């Protein structure tokens, strides 16, 4: 629950963003999501050349999935720490992260894959209709894309904003070629704060904030 003082700081931050943003292509719910990412990262570039990219059904599909308590499958535990716990409780959302699962570590070693890849692969069934949130590992996003292409899973929404120098931008380019609803961005920027901010923004939209 936000305190009155905390809410006043957040409100002032949003006013500053609105004042300083300048022209941008986003409207409605998409702008609420982009603004939340800027608030979490202090980076206006998420509305610029590395701005968020939305599949035409992304927001509606994401809202439907979260409203109905679908799984939220994340690539790293850091995302869980930044998600609003009241929202998770109220909407009975099950958050799944297998990056530290000992069985995943063993299997990844055996297959010579990353833990992030393997953690996604073992959750194919739970991923159907779910919100998949990737903010750290490009290999996790590439694995999910491959799984969708194989027809073994169909998430309700893929939030793919991994950060980094190796395959981060390329994985986002590949994501934009899928028909499955997605929210991503262009370039190397991204990360856990960006990914969790998108989920929190979707919950805020549901609550009508």
Task: Give the span between the Cα atoms of 25 and 154, in whole angstroms.
Answer: 29
- Residues 67-117 pLDDT 10s: 999 999 999 999 999 999 999 999 999 999 999 999 999 999 999 999 999
Q: From the candidates 24, 29, 39, 55, which is the catalytic residue?
A: 39
β strands within 59-156, DSSP E: 72-74, 95-96, 131-134
Averaged confidence pLDDT in the chain: 94
Q: Residue 1 pLDDT > 90, yes or no?
A: no
Q: Please name each of the domains of the chain with its CATH number.
A: 44-207 (3.40.50.10230)
**pLDDT band (50, 70, 90) for residue 11:** confident
Q: Are 78 and 137 in contact (CB under 8 A)?
A: no
CB-CB contact of 159 with 132 (8 Å):
yes
Q: Distance (Å, rounded) from C-alpha 187 to C-alpha 202?
A: 23
Is 39 annotated in the active site?
A: yes
pTM as predicted: 0.93
Tell me, what's the pLDDT at 29?
Answer: 97
5, pLDDT greater than 60: yes
């Amino acid at each position: 629950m936000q305190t009155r003082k905390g809410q006043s700081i957040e409100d002032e931050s949003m006013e500053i963003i609105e004042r300083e943003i300048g022209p941008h292509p986003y409207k409605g719910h998409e702008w609420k999501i982009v603004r939340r990412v800027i608030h979490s990262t202090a980076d206006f570039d998420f509305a610029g050349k590395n701005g968020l990219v939305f599949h035409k059904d992304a927001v509606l599909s994401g809202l439907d999935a979260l409203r109905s308590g679908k799984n939220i499958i994340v690539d790293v535990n850091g995302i869980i720490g930044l998600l609003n716990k009241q929202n998770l409780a109220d909407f009975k959302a099950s958050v799944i992260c297998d990056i530290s699962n000992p069985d995943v570590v063993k299997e990844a070693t055996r297959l010579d894959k990353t833990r992030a890849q393997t953690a996604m692969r073992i959750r194919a069934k739970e991923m159907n209709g779910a919100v998949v949130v990737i903010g750290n590992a490009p290999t996790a996003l590439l694995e999910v894309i491959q799984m969708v292409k194989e027809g073994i899973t169909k998430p309700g929404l893929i939030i793919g904003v991994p950060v980094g120098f190796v395959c981060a931008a390329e994985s986002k380019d590949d994501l934009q070629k899928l028909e499955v609803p997605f929210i991503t961005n262009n370039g190397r920027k991204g990360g856990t704060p960006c990914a969790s901010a998108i989920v929190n923004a979707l919950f805020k939209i549901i609550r009508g904030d």
